[in-house]
Amino acid sequence: MTRQALYFIAPRRVEVRTEDLEEPNYGQVLVKSLISGISPGTESLIYRGQAPRDLVMDETIAALAGDFTFPLKYGYSVVGQVTALGPGVARDWQGRPVFAFHPHESHFLATPDELLPLPPEVSVEDAVFFPNMETAVTLLLDGQPLMGEQVAVFGQGIVGLLLTGLLARWPLASLVTLDLHPRRRLASETLGAHASLDPAAPDVQEKLLSLLQGPRPYPGADLTYEISGNPTALDQAIAATGFSGRVVIGSWYGRKRADLQLGGRFHRSRMRLISSQVSSIAPELTGRWNKTRRYHLAWQMLRELNPARFITHRFSILQAAQAYELIDQNPGEVIQVILTY
């Protein structure tokens, strides 16, 4: 049999190749992909050739064991259905809808322990947001928001929106988000942000601090998230954070560098910069938190937030080049793009 597989072959060039695929071996299943989600942050870095070439794609996912040298397959959000079983696999896997951290391919082989069966109450289109919801949950665990705190979130792409939806459940004094694109700012406010600002507006810092009144002499957010993917936003995030505040950095900048102004208020503010990344859990939480518990919470939040409403575009795998060009050239039109098979 054959499959269609998406390859990144050069900066701003992708192609779909037809490949031979073997029947499932002992302990394997064959999965037919139904949809896969494009990560507009990470995959844009790869598409533009901005990912570090000497970095392993992911040390925790077997399907992403290589590095970022072209040509490469990438992607980590596929929802499919098990269509064939190899020897030694329990019969109840046949026909199951499953999620996999896997590149964009029409069919693939996997072992059952590499698959997550979809809970009955989670739709296929909601399930494609599982990695982004897991990231949002991790950001929440790393930031540890407290009752009555003032929180700012820079970036309202899909991870930022899901994080906003989670934070809106907290009894916060204020929740202010920032994004360049009006469509995302509107979605942010529908999720519960008290205000959503344009970070490029001339008076944005004044407006932001007016919404984040805090103890003098250093007013600002108690907790700030930088998840825009734009290194210049980190400087804004630091400037928006008050004395002894926390800045959680969830963006991956790839080879882009952040130019920070650390000689002013930052030097006396005793704030903390916290790196957050979904492949691990903060050491101080591992006594009671593990990946399984985080997965259960992510599924629960998908059921409650129903993020399929943020799918703005659907493309066939054969139209993948158009999908990536849209994300690259017209980000203001896009929240979540999926590929269909």
Write out pLDDT tens, residues 306-322.
999 999 999 999 999 99
64 & 145 share domain: no
Domain of 51: which CATH number?
3.90.180.10
Domain of 197: which CATH number?
3.40.50.720
108 & 247 share domain: no
83 & 222 share domain: no
DSSP calls for 19-77: EE-PPP-TT-EEEEEEEEE--TTHHHHHHTT-S-TTSBS-TT-GGG-SBSPSSB-----
Residue 295 has pLDDT above 90, yes or no: yes
248 & 161 share domain: yes
Q: How confident is the model at residue 54 (pLDDT cuts 50, 70, 90)?
A: low
Number of separate domains in the chain: 2
Residue 184 has pLDDT above 70, yes or no: yes
Residues 11 and 62: their CA atoms lie apart, in Å, by 25
Nearest CA to 106 among 2, 237, 219, 253? 2
144 & 9 share domain: no
| Residue 287, pLDDT score | 93
Listing from the earlier edge strand, what are the strands of the sheet with 221-226?
A: 195-197, 174-178, 150-154, 221-226, 241-249, 272-275
Average pLDDT for the chain: 93
| Residue 253, pLDDT score | 82
165 & 265 share domain: yes
**Residue that has been written with the tokens 């964009």 in this structure:** 104
77 and 158 Cβ atoms separated by less than 8 Å: no
Write out pLDDT tens, residues 133-149.
999 999 999 999 999 99
175 and 222 Cβ atoms separated by less than 8 Å: no
Is residue 290 situated within a structural domain? Answer: no
184 & 143 share domain: yes
What are the φ/ψ torsions at residue 170 (nearest 5 degrees)?
Answer: -85, 150
92 & 162 share domain: no
**What's the whole-number mean pLDDT along residues 95-122?**
97
Percent pLDDT > 70 in the chain is: 94
Nearest CA to 33 among 139, 94, 104? 104
148 & 211 share domain: yes
Q: How confident is the model at residue 264 (pLDDT cuts 50, 70, 90)?
A: confident
Which domain covers residue 36, as residue numbers? 2-118+308-340
331 & 278 share domain: no
Q: How confident is the model at residue 255 (pLDDT cuts 50, 70, 90)?
A: confident
| Residue 169, pLDDT score | 96
Q: Which two tokens stand for residue 128?
A: 């494609």
Is residue 289 situated within a structural domain? Answer: no
Q: Kind of pairing, strands 241-249 and 115-117?
A: unpaired
